[in-house]
Chains A and B, each alone.
Chain A
Amino acid sequence: MKIELLYPELATLYGDPMNMNFLLRAIPDAEVIRTRHGTQPAFVNGDVEFVYIGSMTEALQITAMQSLLPYKSELERYIDSNKIFLATGNALELFGERIVDTDGAETAMLGLFPTVAKRDMLNRFNGLFLGKLESENLDIVGFKSQFAHSYGSADALFTATRGAGLNPEARVEGLRRNNFMATYVLGPLLVLNPPFAKYLLKLLGRGDAELPYESAAMDSYELRLREFSDPKTGFDY
């Protein structure tokens, strides 16, 4: 099984890299391919089962987008073949149509989803997130810290129970097509959500694999789920 980490030298922020560190410890026999920007991604040849990309700086979003653009049709084929792709944090914005800044400047993105990210670099949005992966009835907990929100009509990854969805007014969160999944929830999403990590392992055909320190991870998850479900807990910072 091959797992591709897309642009790990760019996508380094907010603890996101720990997602695959965590997941890969459950499948130590997996072959890890680290694809640098400016080189051909491994998914182009079709023999990859899982691709991951995490949060990056706003300047590097452009570098990542430009690196992926020549392989847009191959990426669509990869998604159509039901293979797994996970994007966390502002990596989500790479797959929408464009990013629009408050001064009107627009940056075209890959356009795989009909969404537009509206960005305000002087006002950072911070909040908690409690939602559901409806198909599996899984509760998802996490954190958001971002300059942009996305607008547009696309299939969602999660349903927001509390906290902002794709934008503060939306009850849907993230993007989904087949097994392509993108979410604004950033940081160690899989570490904080062992049931979601197990779901991904199941999609990989490794549903029986044990997560590292699964019991401690579940303890932490269940405490956070109780806190986030408490009506007294504030959600927007």
Chain B
Amino acid sequence: MGALRYIIALWVSKSARIAMRILGKNATYLPGKIALKLCPDFLRRVGKPPKIVAVTGTNGKTTSSNLLGDVLKLEGRRVLGNRLGSNVPAGVASCLLMGVNPLGRSRFDIAVLEIDERSAHKILPQLQPDLMVITNLFRDSIMRNAHPEYIATFLEKAIPNGTKLLLNADDLLSARTKQENPRVYFGIERMETDVIECVNLINDMRLCPECGAELQYDYRRYHHIGRAHCPECDFASPQYDYAASKIDCAAMTMTVLDKLGAGEYTLMSDSVFNIYNELTAITALRELGFAHEKIAARLRECGIVESRFNRESVGNIDVVMQMSKDKNALAGSRVFDYVAGLPGEKELILMMNCLHDQKHWSENVCWLYDCDFEFLARDNIRRIVATGPRAKDYTLRLLLAGVPEERVRCVPNEIDAPDALDYAPETDVYIFYGTDAIDLAYRVRDKTKSLAAQAIAGVTE
């Protein structure tokens, strides 16, 4: 009976996929939803490539899995991936469906699948990945993910016993996942910018998970990312199997050392979170048997997806689109820290409002008080325009973060926000936007560019 359900599900969902493709749709969700509806264990039954790499975690899973898939494709592998679709069960089912012939046999050499950490228990037991990458665990949506310890319990139950884990040794929240499983650890050795005390509001690894004593950090990169040990028992961060060192953001180079030797790599980005993404992909590729030189050469041909960070110049004014996932304090903290630390004078527009929530309810703004708006109080940020339905909440948060009142503008209508900026020469304008306001953000960007061009023309005249 189960086999018959599977065959019906396969053909019906394949037909749905073909019909959607004829209509010009991506077909990255609905066919999988149909398949799972008709056959709840479709993910277990459907044909899969001989090798499966699953990538999950709070941040970096899209960038890491895209890099990994790109290198594998450049190396001539037939790579199945869900980069165009969703990472929940229906998206993964759609992806696997796309990868099989009408008899249900896979046409690919390897699958690189991004997995939503909150949905892992519905996917991983049926998928049985060979390698499982966990990039990190941080706070995400308060409403969906609660706190990282909660997500860790999902992963603990969801990851199959035999799956080899690729874990971030600098993240003690995820590094302890499934301790009986085979594993390797990656991490970045001490950097010049590391500190000891936490300067962030979110600091979710304060206590020893073995004895409850307060952990002592040997160094800390941000939040709980770093290396720590317990002064009361023998608990400590795990040793690196893949260690990134000699990070040189001026020369854009780093070295990755493992038990078989060292590789020299070009940094794809100077932001620490993207260095972690690159190291994650390198670790997975090394585990898949690729040589350092080959990986380094292929990574130089790849790029980090630009939809999250896009810089355009209008004369001597740069307009930068910086995505910051809405309702995600960690994402905000990381991009605020990064942007505030860049050289030069800046003007900002904050429009990470969750418009979907606002349409039906009212956005839960608790995350604003987990997010380090304090980074925006630096003197190189001359003006901040808070805009959108929650403009007043952003304004209050900025003031409480120590941003001087004269630098804050509250403009409820997003399209009016660019009018409140000062387009001085040699200024960078940053537009921080969320995932469900992309079209609106690009309209704001276009107006910003237009006003910047007018300002430059005025100066020239």
Contacts and interface: CB of A to CB of B under 8 A. Distances in A.
Contacts of A216: 392, 395-396, 399
Nearest to A22: B400
A143 B149 CA distance: 21
B146 A187 contact: no
With most chain B CB atoms within 10 A of its CB, the pick from A212, A216, A233, A234 is: A216
Contacts of B395: 216, 219-220
Contacts of B143: 124, 126, 145, 237
Nearest to B207: A9
B40 to A, nearest CB: 17
Contacts of A9: 206-207, 214
Contacts of A13: 147
Interface stretch (A44-52, A100-108, A223-231): A223-231
A186 B392 contact: no
Interface stretch (B101-109, B125-133, B294-302, B357-365): B357-365
A52 B298 CA distance: 55
Interface residues of B, number: 33
The majority secondary structure among interface residues of chain B is helix
Contacts of A224: 362
B455 to A, nearest CB: 29
Contact of B362 (A21, A187, A188, A228): A228
A37 B213 CA distance: 10
Given A57-B150, A216-B392, A220-B396, A145 B362 contact: no
Interface string A6-44: 000100111101100110000000000000111000000
A209 to B, nearest CB: 16
B393 interface: yes
Given A57-B150, A63-B212, A220 B144 contact: no
Contacts of A217: 396
A59 B149 CA distance: 9
Contacts of B153: 121
Contacts of A14: 142, 366, 370
A12 B144 contact: no
A15 B361 contact: no
Interface in B383-431: 392-393, 395-396, 399-400
B377 interface: no
B396 A213 contact: yes
Contact of B369 (A147, A188, A219, A237): A188
B400 A212 contact: yes
B361 A233 contact: yes
B144 A124 contact: yes
Interface residues of A, number: 42
Contacts of B206: 9, 12
B314 interface: no
Interface in B195-238: 201-204, 206-207, 212, 214
With most chain A CB atoms within 10 A of its CB, the pick from B147, B203, B207 is: B147
A220 B147 contact: no
Contacts of A213: 396, 399-400
With most chain B CB atoms within 10 A of its CB, the pick from A13, A17, A37, A121 is: A13
B361 A235 contact: yes
A220 B412 CA distance: 12
B368 interface: yes
A147 to B, nearest CB: 7
B369 A187 contact: yes
A203 interface: no
Contacts of A133: none
Contacts, number: 93
Contacts of B361: 128, 233-235, 237
B400 A220 contact: no
A143 B207 contact: no
B367 interface: yes
Nearest to A216: B396
A201 interface: no
B360 A187 contact: no
B329 to A, nearest CB: 8
B104 to A, nearest CB: 31
A191 interface: yes
Nearest to A21: B400
B207 to A, nearest CB: 7
Contacts of A57: 147, 149-150
B208 to A, nearest CB: 12
Interface string A140-152: 0001010100000
A233 B362 contact: yes
B200 to A, nearest CB: 11
Contacts of A37: 212
A213 B202 CA distance: 24
Given A17-B201, A128-B362, A220 B393 contact: yes
Interface in A38-84: 38, 57-59, 63
Contacts of B369: 15, 17-18, 187-188, 191
Interface in B126-162: 142-144, 146-147, 149-150, 153
A88 B322 CA distance: 34
A235 B146 CA distance: 19
Contacts of B201: 17
A228 B364 CA distance: 12
Nearest to B202: A12
A187 B204 CA distance: 16
B26 to A, nearest CB: 27
Given A14-B370, A15-B367, A147-B146, A191 B362 contact: no
A59 B206 CA distance: 14
Given A9-B206, A57-B149, A188 B366 contact: yes
Nearest to B366: A187
Nearest to A236: B361
A188 to B, nearest CB: 5
Given A143-B365, A191-B369, 4 more contacts: A124-B144, A145-B143, A145-B366, A223-B392
24 contacts: A9-B206, A12-B204, A14-B370, A15-B366, A15-B370, A18-B369, A22-B400, A124-B146, A126-B364, A128-B361, A143-B364, A145-B143, A187-B142, A188-B366, A212-B399, A213-B396, A213-B399, A219-B395, A220-B392, A220-B393, A220-B396, A233-B361, A234-B360, A235-B361
